[in-house]
Amino acid sequence: MNARRPARSNDNTTASLMNTHDSQTNGPLTACIVAGGDITPGDRVMATIRESDIIIAVDRGLNTCLELGITPTLCIGDFDSASDDAVQAARERGWLLLEHPPEKAATDGELALDEAIARRAKRIRILGALTGQDRMDHGVANLLLLTRPDLREIDTRLIDEYREAFVLRKGASAYVTGQRGDYVTLLPLSETGATVTSWGLKYDLLGIPLGFGSTRGVSNELAWQQANITVEEGLVLVLQERGPTQPSPAGEPDSSL
């Protein structure tokens, strides 16, 4: 519970505020959500932060931002897992804190996602959402957030230094880049399963149906440095595990197919 601190701001109108970058560039706005899980500050993670226009610290992610010298656009959550010293330091720096009650109808991570969407981000990268704090419920919930219908046109990914998760919908395609032998897992999330075609995996799928609940798509591997995955029917969760020497991100989804 977190009744110890008054909220600096919980005005929902702040969700409509725009980062100044949006009015200065024609490129897509990128938001980085720093969640409360474990974050290894390697090259890939730090590049993700540097290339983002909006940075949203979520609860204990406030501690991470202070440790890494990052100034977030805003901080959100009930702050029950952030340290008192971190919250005080954020206030002294004049950071915007949007505090919510501990008892609410959404996780702090989903509230941060709502903020990124409200600020019209077209790319969302979520750090610290795959591991940490031994909370299986939050880890699974974070993966399922990727299936939200309002993210259909927004490139949204959970990433850390060596892993990445994103969703491909019907008609979408993505390149997955890494080292030969990197694990790539395809999990159908549709009740009716999914039909997938891949090129460049050790066990390519050529219009092969994957049944809901099937493990057929688990622990495939990159046969080369790049593979292409196309979802012809259904909804598929793509999980990639890279070797420690490969910083390149997975390719952008192409919904034009």
Predicted confidence at residue 130, as pLDDT, reads 87
Residue spans of beta strands (DSSP E) within 163-214: 163-168, 173-177, 183-188, 194-199, 206-210
Nearest to 230, CA basis, from 251, 246, 202, 213: 251
> Are residues 153 and 121 in contact, defined by beta-carbon separation less than 8 angstroms?
no
What is the pLDDT confidence band of residue 131, given thresholds at 50, 70 and 90? confident
Per-residue pLDDT tens for 42-89?
Answer: 999 999 999 999 999 999 999 999 999 999 999 999 999 999 999 999
Per-residue pLDDT tens for 177-196?
Answer: 999 999 999 999 999 999 99
Nearest to 184, CA basis, from 148, 156, 152, 224: 224
Per-residue pLDDT tens for 138-182?
Answer: 889 999 999 999 999 999 999 999 999 999 999 999 999 999 999
Q: Is 77 helix (H, G, I), strand (E, B) or coil?
A: strand
SS3 content of the chain, % helix, strand, coil (to 5): 25, 30, 50
Euclidean distance between CA atoms 112 and 101, whole angstroms: 14
Alpha helices in the chain (DSSP H): 43-50, 61-68, 84-92, 108-118, 136-145
Nearest to 37, CA basis, from 150, 154, 112, 142: 142
Average pLDDT, integer, range 75-104: 95
Could you give the domains of the chain?
1-161 (3.40.50.10240), 162-257 (3.40.50.10240)
Q: Which amino acid belongs to residue 249?
A: P
Euclidean distance between CA atoms 180 and 182, whole angstroms: 6
Predicted confidence at residue 256, as pLDDT, reads 38
Q: Is 63 helix (H, G, I), strand (E, B) or coil?
A: helix
pTM > 0.85: yes or no: no
Predicted confidence at residue 132, as pLDDT, reads 58
